[in-house]
Amino acid sequence: MDISEFLNQNWHEHADQTAVVAARLPDGLALLSGSGQATRLAELAVHVLGEHLGRWDDGLAFLERMLVMPSAGDHADQQAIRRCQATLHYCAGRRDAFEDLLRRASSSGVAEDDDRVRVLAIAAAALVGQDRIADAQATFDAALSHAVSPTASVARTLAVIGNNLSWDLEAYISRSPEEAAMMIRAAWIGVRYGKIAGGWLEESRAEHRLSRSLSADGRGPAALTHAVTCLRICAQNHADAMEHFFAYEAISRAHSAAGSAAEAETARDTAADFLEVLDSKLRDRCMPVLASLDATIGSFRS
């Protein structure tokens, strides 16, 4: 197994087998052989040991092992590992170590805004993973306050983190008003920065994410506006069947949230029609979404 296979397998399995993947992480060290690989392994470690398990110090110990290895990549990898360390120190409440590592991750020796934005955004996601919502909100606010003129790379990070945060909070069985507000704000951030960093596909998916978050909060009319925007972007750009499936799925959820049962059923059936033309692999990926939609329609109907 090479490092790419190792990373792909463990990203695929980490949500369901978090402890197993955490125990496997050291096995990846022996597979490092080229530039960029250490960065990818460090990011997996932060996600698993930090966001999923809250084991900040275990993550830091692992990253320290990486830094002293001859195969730990080039200067860019070293800087990326220090940013990962900064993320974990921030989450552990060690602000001095966080600031020191930001400086050391910079070629100039001065903490740069782009690095700060990237590290704080990832830290916010890790804090949500540990149900520290107030800390996550403050951290995300801090990241955004430094994103005055973000590069495309930083805008992409903010868009991805915003979408991921909204997805994580939508998965909560119940949400406090603060959690609901953060869910929707994060989705808005996904739309805003997705437009900066990506093309029409990223924009349509961000609109889909925002629509779903609004539906989950019971804001049917607003959710419908963004679901229709998602569909319009797909139609204008001749998107494939899977993108249209998700657009109609969002429209159906929005109608359900608004109490429009007949419209929800119609949009659901249209989504299912697009599902039928997908190949078996893509269809299998989408079937759980359709099942979830059916459950949502049923819950709003009852």
CATH number of the domain within which 219 lies: 1.25.40.10
End residue of a domain, out of 111, 146, 175:
111
Measured between alpha carbons, how far is 283 from 278 in angstroms, rounded to an integer?
A: 6
**b/e string for 45-69 if b means 16 or more Cβ within 10 A?**
bbbbbbbbbbbbebbbebbeebeee
Please report whether residue 136 resides in a domain. Answer: no
Residue ranges making up the domain that contains 65: 1-111
CA pseudo-torsion sign 192, 194, 196, 201: negative
Please report whether residue 154 resides in a domain. Answer: no
Please report whether residue 175 resides in a domain. Answer: no
pLDDT the model gives residue 92:
97
Q: pTM of this prediction?
A: 0.84
**204 and 105 in one domain?**
no
Joined together, the tokens standing for residue 166 give 């909204």
pLDDT the model gives residue 110:
59
Please report whether residue 39 resides in a domain. Answer: yes
pLDDT the model gives residue 70:
74
pLDDT the model gives residue 221:
97
Please report whether residue 60 resides in a domain. Answer: yes
Q: What's the one-letter identity of residue 253? A: R
pLDDT the model gives residue 152:
86
Please report whether residue 293 resides in a domain. Answer: yes
The total number of structural domains in the chain stands at 2
End residue of a domain, out of 83, 111, 139:
111
Please report whether residue 30 resides in a domain. Answer: yes
Please report whether residue 226 resides in a domain. Answer: yes
Measured between alpha carbons, how far is 206 from 194 in angstroms, rounded to an integer?
A: 7
End residue of a domain, out of 72, 88, 111:
111
Q: What's the one-letter identity of residue 223? A: A
pLDDT the model gives residue 302:
54
Segments in the chain below pLDDT 50:
none
